[in-house]
Structure 1
Amino acid sequence: MVLRTHLTITKILHIYHISFTYAIFISDFILITSNMMILGGRSLQLVYALLIFLYMQTSIGFNSTTGDYEIRCIESERQALLAFKQSLVDEYGRLSSWGSEEEKKECCKWEGVQCSNTTGHVTVLELSQLRGNLSPSLFELYHLTYLNLSRNDFNLSPVPKSIGSLNKLQHLVLCFCNLSGSLPSQLANLTSLQSLDLRYNKFDIKNLEWLSPLSYLQFLDLGGNDLSKVNNSWLEVINKLPRLNILYLYGCNLPYVLPQSIPMINTSTLLAVLDLSSNNLSASTFQWLSKFNKSLVSLKLSDNSFQGLIPENLSYMTSLETLDLNDNQFEGGIPKSFGNLCKLRSLHLSNNNLDEMLPELIGNLSGCQRLSLEGLYLDENKIKGPLPDMIKNFSSLRWLSLYNNQLNGTVPKSIGLLSKLESLEISSNSLNGMITESHFSTLSKLRGLDMSFNSLSFNFGRDWIPPFQLDEIELASCKLGPEFPRWLKTQRNFSNLDISGNGISGGIPKWFWNLSSRAFHVNLSSNHLYGALPNLSTTKFADSFSLGIDLSKNKLEGPFPVFPINVTYINLSENTFSGSISSLCTITSGNLVFLDVSHNQLTGKLPDCLMRWTSLVILNLANNHLFGKIPSSIGYLSRLESLGLQNNNFSGEIPRALGNCSALQFLDLNYNSFSGIIPAWIGERLSSLTFLLLGSNNFNGDIPLQLCWLTNIALLDLSNNNLSGSIPWCIQNLTALAQKKNSTDDHSFLVRINASIRCEGSYSDRASVMWKGMERDYGNGNLKNLRIIDLSSNKLTGKIPVQISVLLELLQLNLSRNQLTGWIPSNIGQMRQLESLDLSQNQLSGHLPWSMSQLNFLSTLNLSHNNFSGRIPISAQMQSFSASAFVGNPSLCGLPLTPTCPEDEKSKSKSTDSGGKDNQEDRSEFWKSFKLGMELGVAIGFVEVLAMKFYHPWKHLCFLLFNNVRVRLSKLKDRLYLFVAAVGLLVREHVSDWEES
């Protein structure tokens, strides 16, 4: 009854409105007609036709079927919308309602379009998830008051100048639109604007003067755009916006605020929210900020260049509720005056250099705001000392973050008195002692608990029921064991659980797998868990939006488990699972990003269902008993960055489809039975490779020249194959080994499941590498420090290319057990970073280059079993190696092989025969030269003193003259010395080569 009454009243009001409109129309018609009579009949007909046209164009219509009056689309605006549609690509069908002929006439009913109830003009347009161009036809909708085109892709289109025609626009949202170019000055015509959001585009903003006329502007967001070219003029412009209430300029590359550029501020300023985070601002900014002492409610200055102590004048902002100073370089502690910020609710000081004792720091916040403070974030600093008991004074505290500091001592039980606490993060400190039930006695609202990486032991009763239901449970590297924690049975809503490294033994209870349907990350790794896993696809965990599970480094066994189709992260490495991995083909959601089942006892073939895992970034199947060929479906893994198949029984050729994995940075096929040639397309299509390990297989043929295109290679292992031919001369193009260039073995991955759920993490590559004659495991970020070329144990022939000496950053070179001939490149000494050099068991000859004595970091050397001859270069480094490094070279002499070389004996004998006479002549020549030098020096000095003593006009001239003589003699001496030394080294280097030829 009420609904019918409401509809009736609505119709009456609508009919009244229409009647009133027609009355005005008729009166205007009569008035205009009477006034136009003097123009004659023809003119009267024109006026009549005009009025009829206006009548036909009216936006008011009557629906005879329903008896309702409805708003109709204005033709010109409908055409403008259709023209705008023509410039767009609608992949998701957002504009499907703009399609049929009947609907085309009623644009007010189209998706994202709203019209005025009185005029029929389009006043609201809101569209997203489209791409194309920002057509100027859009700006023919002159009556728009609200325009939101956020999160479209306009392909770097500029903003058309015609946007200035929308002078009725009150709200404009163009964020995340991939727009570029200069912002048109016609934006200044939008004088009705109240809010403007242009964040995260690629505008080339050189000035902000177009903002000045927008006096009604209350909300402005330019975040993520480069404002470095506007210098300090942004301060002046902001000063001219008297109604501005909210301002976001984060990530704008704002320069330092120069003190002399700070403008006088209008006292009517209403600025309440200001975000200047992620810029280049310095301390002078606070001088400008002090002018907003009475208005600012939220101030964010994180990720800037602030240094030194936290400014005292921030405490004058008595209206502040949120203060964010994260990610700067503030030192010391919190000013005592902060105790006067009575309205402060959230204080962010994370990731600075604060080093005050925690009790003192907390004491400075014990003023009037201790009753209002809800969030205190002090993580990632250098804060020392114990957790103070006085925390109990902050009765309103809801979020406390102190992780990654230098705190010590025990956790006080008084922390359990913070009855409103929702999140407690104290991980990565040096806290110790026992955690009992009393620590959580009143924490019924606790949702997040992170006490990881401390020396804490947990002692709860077997039947303890916690007062909380946790969402985040992070207790890694604590002491929850040895029994699986029973209190977890009460936690049925967690999304993140990490109890890794807790010394927990035994099997995983069955009830565990049916706890939470919200779990998206479960980490039980590095414990002593054993037994088989259930069918995880039928557990409650399978109902989660996504699931990441880490059970690595345990003693789990049995067949490979079946996972839910929505799993995103699987790490079962370092267990004893056995059997086939074909059950992986049940994972069909396409969200799998991480799969590591290395170091198990898995058998069978790699299933040909990899096309279902198009999001995969990490695939590690190393150290199992898998066999067969790599399926061609691997070519669908276009996002794959790390592929580890080493130490299995894979065979056949490397499939060409692997070339589609262009994001690969790590490829390890070592210790398998692959055969055929090394494909040239590896160098052509996998240009991102940093680590390429193909050793200990059955590859044959030449080393393809295209491998020289891998300019990012830090580790190249082709050892223990049947490769022939020569070492490519283009090896100098491996620029990551020639120049100081940072490599990475870390991979970050992120897959967004929906607006709130995403899978993200990081991974460090692992590989078994022959380093200085010993096989070693490298992982945990250590692999990136290696620079290695290993071509050993092949059938390579020819010479060592002289270009190899260009690889100045190489740490290890192993060319042993080949059939190489010729000499060692004479300039090998410029490879100063070499720590290991193995050229043993080849057919190399000639003298060892004297430049080898410059390899000061060389700690492992093997030149044995070649045909080297002559003297071993003399240096502390070369003579430090044992004789085994040089054995098998019969014509090689000198320490550490023999005390002397044959030519040393001949020289000694000749020296004995003519030694007396030669020595006497040498001494005579020396004293003659010494006497001549003394006489010349005394003469020059005596003349200089006389001239300067007795003839003053010559004093300055003589000083310059004799000083010039001394300098020239000194330079001549140095040049002669260098010339003689260079000739001596050259003769010494090549005399043995001349003797051989």
Structure 2
Amino acid sequence: MKILGGRFLQILFALLILLRIQTSMGFYSTMAGDEVRCIERERQALLAFKQGLVDKSDRLSSWGSEEEKKECCEWEGVQCSNTTGHVIALDLGFHGLYSRGNLSASLFELQHLTYLNLSWNDFNLGRILESITSLNKIQYLDLRYCNLGGFLPTQLGNLTSLKHLDLSGNKFNIENLEWLSLFSCLQYLDLSKRDLNMVDNYWLQVIKLSRLTELSLNERNLRDVIIPLSIPMINTSTFLAYLDLSFNNLTASTFQWLLSKFNKSLVDLYLSGNQFQGLIPESLGHMTYLETLDLSDNQFEGEIPKSFGNLCKLRYLDLSHNNLDQMLSELIGNFSGCLQLSLEYLVLDGNKIKGPLPNVIKNFSSLQWLSLNNNQLSGALPKSIGLLSKLVQLEMFSNSFNGVITEAHFSTLSKLRYLDMSFNHLSINFSCDWIPPFQLDYIILTSCKLGPKFPSWLKTQREFSYLDISSSGILDSIPKWFWNLSSTAFHVNLSSNQIYGILSNLSTKFSGSFGIGIDLSKNKLEGPLPVFPHNLTSIILSENMFSGSISSLCTITGGKLSFVDVSNNQLFGKLPDCMTQWTSLVILNLANNHLFGKIPSSIGSMSLLESLSLQNNNFSGEIPSSLANCSALQFLDLSDNSFSGIIPAWIGERLSSLTFLLLRSNNFSGDIPLQLCWLRNIMLLDLSNNNLSGSIPWCLQNLTALAQKESSARDHSFADSYLKAGGYYSGSYADKSSVIWKGLERDYWNGNLKNLRIIDLSSNKLTGGIPVHVSILFELVQLNLSRNQLIGRIPADIGQMKQLESLDLSQNQLSGHLPWSMSQLNFLSTLNLSYNNFSGRIPLGAQIQTFDASAFVGNPSLCGLPLTPTCPGDEKSKSKPTDSGGKDNQEDRAEFWKSFKSGMELGAAIGFVGVVAVKFDHPWKHICILFYNNLRVRLRNLKDCLYLLVAAVGLRLREHVSRLGRKLKLFERSVSS
């Protein structure tokens, strides 16, 4: 939104310069009656230039047409001298052109060119060729956002007549900027959005350009000024009026230097997104020519200087996203003076500003934009805010304002277009017959109390494009007039109210070409789904009482639909086979309905699909193979249905982006495919309650997202979805699923799902043992292998899984001793080992002994707390101090020396594996890294063995000392008696 402020001024200023340049050069389009014809070699050069371009929009259709075969001066974007006929201007900015290679060398023929604008086209990382650097009459060169690559040629220094140079937003490499010193006439320079760290402080040399009036170096990773402030800059520009150094790495020293050198010239100063700390300098108040000041996204703290009141020309002030903690009344008081009369835009979002909105704000007679979002403001809104008659935009969301808002607050705000008062404690109480003086474009009143009746004053707002009155306490039906309001709306959100009734036919509403997003979720709407407008980009109707078929979704044919959520309703029937027209769909959620039948193969047409949830319906048949085309899938939930057949191997082969895979409670059979081990991003794998057989894949350690803290899980951005569909939205979407967590079924959203790293293979017919390398999954939080037919031992290294909170191995045929390393599972809060064939002593540990005996029942040969007070042989051990602990201790020692020997052998190989892991490329590199991780675990296990051995020896020694002490006391008593 800052374009309404400083960016608007920047664009306007650039246009004025362009107009001045064009006027001074005396060129204009040739009139129909002119006799001057274009030069043939220049005409051929233009045609050659066109041949190197892909013109999908046909913007250059006039180039070379029969009726204008020789009149290239009449072609789109071409301007010629009205006296010589030479091409002197080529303006193809924003034409959507795509280059087949480098910038064409044919431009060399246009030696009289003084103006060249190729901005916002795509030159496919091509280079700037010498053909451009030879055009030494060029005064205006605009190549911004052209996707240029390679090295920026130093020959650009040949263009000594340049007055305007814009190379921003490209991807070329810059070796040096020495050639900039040759531009003695340069007035405008923009090198933004490219790393200039490699050229060190050459940006200081840029500032030396004596005629420079505008300089933009934002997002350039610039370093601090390293020269002493006392050393003057020779030939420093005295004309510099516009300076943008936003989003660099500059600190206070640079700030002070800028204030000292340009305090008499700067008009627009943008320093947002740097590392400025401490108090805002008082000296800013002496820059009396300032009209725009942007210090947002820094770390300023404390108060705003009183000297700001002297900035009589300041119109735009942005101090948002700092740490200012002043009372709002004091802050406004520091603006007393001429600043009150000049200020038009005041942005203070994201600070710690406190207190109520003072009445004195009415003195800001020029204020057009007031933004106070995300602060600690409180109290009632004063009616004097209605005296800001020029106010266009009012934002104050996420504060603690309270009280009642009446028409008196807005009675004179006839220019108001943008209103956001959401997430406060406000009640909007406008009388039923009140006609507001404004026509709002954006209406955002989330969590404000508007109900219980549907707000009738909205009937007067016929020009809105964005409406959000969610969570506003409406207990009413939607009036018929509502859907006839704004035909240009692109976002309507009435969610989280208690709106009831049946939706009418919406197919003829919202005729705007931009597309429309509708959110009516979490209400009490019922009846069939309506017929929708063809140009919908999103439809969210979840958590209502809709019934009937979902076939009306097939009326959405505009090709922009990116999000459908009709979950948690009473919809039934089969999926319609119309998904071929939803090629932009990113999210499809049909969970918790009564849908049935097979999934149509047309689902594979949705190649952009990232989230698919069909949970808790009655779908049947096999997973359609066409789903393999949806390679962008990250969330796939088919749980609680009647799907059958095998789990297809292509899930692991083709859906490599999967983060959540839930196939719980279906009728899948056969083996678990080894290819699922290729899902390196998977964080939740739930295949429980099926008919799966065979062994657990030995390659589970390949699930690297469960072994490493770093992960690719995301809170799905609804805005990202809309970008892919060419639409717009400012909300967010979180995938939701029902998860069996610590034995209970709970609903989780993506925000907390990504913290529940889970493998659940329970309630199947799996055989064989637990893969020994499962202990490499260091970040696993829940492992559930219960109710299978597993045999063998628990992996000895299971104690390495430090993050485990829930472990369920119950109702299998597992045997052997419980590994001593289980005592290291310090976060374990749920444990179930019941009904197996475990034997021996339960390991002693701070966590294990806190569990109830039910966690160990059904293992007749298992003993020790909390199951039994003692183990067989404990009394015999006490009577024979020389006994080292019986059979259990002998087995423990044998296991220790086995681990010790194994660890020594593995340690000898670890160096070799480390070298191989570095040298080899994929796939050997990945295999070696996995092997290396296994070695590392083994050696860590060896270290733990040594630690426990030392601890055991110490314990034995202490016991012997204690026994010796008791014997001495007995001896003393016998002597004394």
Q: Normalising to structure 2: TM-score of the pair?
A: 0.85
Contact 1:743/1:784 (CA < 8 Å) preserved in 2? no
Report if the CA contact (8 A) 2:771-2:795 is conserved: yes
1:392 and 2:359 equivalent?
A: no
When residues 456 and 544 of structure 1 are mapped into structure 2, their CA distance, relative to the original with a 3 A threshold, is farther
Match of 1:70 among 29, 35, 48: 35
State the AA in 2 paired with 1:130.
L
* Cα separation, 1, equivalents of 2:525 and 2:822: 52
For 1:480 and 1:979, the matched residues in 2 are separated by 66
Report how many residues are paired.
Answer: 863
Q: Which moved more, 1:768-777 or 1:451-460?
A: 451-460
Match of 1:123 in 2: 88
Q: Contact 1:591/1:751 (CA < 8 Å) preserved in 2?
A: no
Write the distance in 2 (CA, Å) between the matches of 1:470 and 1:800: 64
Measured against aligned partners, the alpha-carbon deviations of 1:196-231 in whole angstroms (never above 9, x if no partner) come to 111110011121111111111111111112211111
Q: Structure 2 vs 1, CA of residues 621 and 980 (structure 1 numbering), >3 Å: closer, same or farther?
A: closer
What are the Cα deviations for residues 563-619 of structure 1, in whole angstroms up to 9, with x where unaligned? 101111211000000111111111111111111100001111111111212221111
Indicate yes or no: 2:300 matched with 1:335: no
CA distance in structure 1 between the aligned counterparts of 2:173 and 2:945, rounded to whole angstroms: 61
Amino acid at match of 1:609: C
The Cα of 1:95 is off from its aligned counterpart by 3.1
Task: Give the structure 2 partner of residue 606 of structure 1.
Answer: 575
Identical-residue share of aligned pairs (%): 75
Partner SS for 2:831:
strand
Return closer, same or farther for 1:975/1:852 CA change in 2, 3 Å cut-off.
Answer: closer
Q: Which amino acid aligns with 1:705?
A: L
Corresponding position: 1:842 with 2:812: yes
Asked if structure 1 preserves the Cα contact closer than 8 Å seen for 2:537 and 2:727, the reply is: no
Q: Select 1:298's aligned residue among 268, 272, 277.
A: 268
Deviation at 1:982, TM superposition (A): 7.8
Q: Corresponding residue for 2:961?
A: none
Shift in CA distance, 980/475, structure 1 to aligned 2, threshold 3 Å: closer
Name which of 255, 274, 278 aligns with 1:286. 255
Paired with 1:359 and 1:862, the residues of 2 have a C-alpha distance of 61
1:242 to 201, 207, 210: 210
What letter corresponds to residue 97 of structure 2 in structure 1? L
- SS of the residue 1:537 aligns to: coil
Corresponding residue number in structure 2 for 1:255: 223
Task: Tell me the equivalent position of 1:797.
Answer: 767
Contact 1:545 1:753 in 2 (8 A): no
Query: Structure 1 residues 675 and 319, CA, compared in 2 at 3 Å: closer, same or farther?
Result: same
Q: Are the counterparts in 1 of residues 181 and 205 from structure 2 also a CA contact under 8 Å?
A: no
> Residue 778 of structure 1: which of 738, 748, 768 is its match?
748
Matches of residues 438-449 of structure 1 in structure 2 within 5 Å? 438-449=408-419
Q: How does 1:439-478 map to 2 (within 5 A)?
A: 439-478=409-448
Aligned to 2:780: 810
Cross-structure match for 1:315: 285
- Within 5 Å, which residues of 2 pair with 1:589-604? 589-604=558-573
CA contact (8 A) 1:420 1:443 kept: yes
The CA distance in 1 between the partners of 2:948 and 2:53, in whole Å, is: 75
Q: 1:728 aligns with which of 672, 689, 697?
A: 697
CA contact (8 A) 2:64 2:72 kept: no
Shift of 1:452: 0.8
Q: Which runs of 5+ in 2 are unaligned?
A: 1-29, 886-942, 957-977
The match for 1:655 is: 624
- Residue 112 of structure 1 and its aligned partner are, at CA, apart by 2.4
Among 304, 319, 323, the alignment partner of 1:353 is 323
1:769 to 1:756, Cα distance in 2 relative to 1, 3 A: closer
Gap change, CA 1:754 and 1:866, over 3 Å in 2: closer
What residue identity is the alignment partner of 1:613? W
**SS, match of residue 182 in structure 2:** coil
Cα separation, 1, equivalents of 2:588 and 2:725: 26
2:117–2:141 Cα contact (<8 Å) kept: yes
C-alpha displacement of 1:332: 1.0
SS of aligned partner of 2:716: strand
Q: Does 1:139 align with 2:123?
A: no
Q: CA deviation at 1:366?
A: 1.4
Q: How does 1:441-590 map to 2 (within 5 A)?
A: 441-539=411-509, 541-543=510-512, 545-590=514-559
Contact 2:107 2:131 in 1 (8 A): no
> CA separation of 1:364/1:158 partners in 2, compared to 1, >3 Å: closer, same or farther?
same
Partner SS for 1:260: coil
Contact persistence 2:355–2:377 (CA under 8 A): yes
Give the equivalent residue in structure 2 for 1:746. 715
- Alpha-carbon distance in structure 2 between the residues aligned to 1:544 and 1:83: 36
| Residue in structure 2 matching 1:689, options 658, 663, 675 | 658
Is 1:717 aligned to 2:686, yes or no?
yes
Question: Shift of residue 100 of structure 1?
Answer: 4.8
Q: What's the CA shift for 1:520?
A: 1.1
SS of residue paired to 2:765: coil
Measured after TM superposition, the shift of residue 750 of structure 1 is 4.2
1:880 aligns with 2:850: yes
- Asked whether the equivalents of residues 383 and 409 of structure 2 are also in contact (C-alpha less than 8 Å), the reply is yes
SS of the residue 1:538 aligns to: coil
Aligned to 1:31: none
Q: 1:645 to 1:144 in 2, by over 3 A?
A: same
Aligned runs of 1:851-862 on 2, under 5 Å?
851-862=821-832
Pick aligned residue for 1:679 from 648, 651, 657: 648
Query: Using a 3 Å threshold, how does the CA distance of structure 1 residues 410 and 983 change in structure 2: closer, same or farther?
Result: closer
Answer with 742-751 or 560-569: which moved more.
742-751
Distance between the aligned counterparts of 2:65 and 2:364, measured in 1?
A: 63
Distance 1:887 1:231, change over 3 A: same
SS in structure 1 opposite 2:402?
A: strand
2 CA distance for matches of 1:913 and 1:574?
Answer: 68
Kindly report the root-mean-square deviation, in angstroms, between the aligned alpha carbons of the 2 structures: 2.6
Distance 1:457 1:88 in 2: 58
The aligned amino acid for 1:712 is: N
TM superposition shift of 1:745: 3.9
Q: Which residue of 1 aligns with 2:4?
A: none
Moved more, 676-685 or 846-855: 676-685
* CA positional deviation for 1:980: 5.7
More deviation, 366-375/753-762:
753-762
Deviations 1:299-346 (A, max 9, x none): 111111111111222212111111111111111121111111011111
Amino acid at match of 2:215: L
User: Is 1:266 aligned to 2:240, yes or no?
Assistant: no
The letter of the residue matching 1:865 is: Y
One of 583, 600, 611 as aligned partner of 1:642:
611
SS at match of 1:284: helix
CA contact (8 A) 1:154 1:178 kept: yes
Equivalence for 1:365: 335
Matched residue of 2:651: which SS? helix
Q: Is the 8 A contact 2:584 2:725 kept in 1?
A: no
When residues 986 and 721 of structure 1 are mapped into structure 2, their CA distance, relative to the original with a 3 A threshold, is farther
1:733 and 1:853 map into 2 onto residues whose CA distance is 26
Report the Cα offset of residue 628 of structure 1. Answer: 1.5
Q: Match for 1:316: what amino acid?
A: H
Moved more, 808-817 or 362-371: 362-371
SS at match of 2:499: strand
Q: CA deviation at 1:98?
A: 3.0
Shift of 1:79: 2.7
Kept in 1: contact 2:187–2:213 (CA 8 A) = yes
Alignment check: 8 A CA contact 2:611 2:636 kept: yes
Q: TM-score, normalised by structure 1?
A: 0.83
**CA 1:381 to 1:441, structure 2 compared with 1: closer, same or farther past 3 Å?**
same
| Alignment of 1:89 onto 2:54 | yes
**Which amino acid letter does the alignment assign opposite residue 389 of structure 2?**
S
1:203 touches 1:226 (CA, 8 Å); kept in 2? no
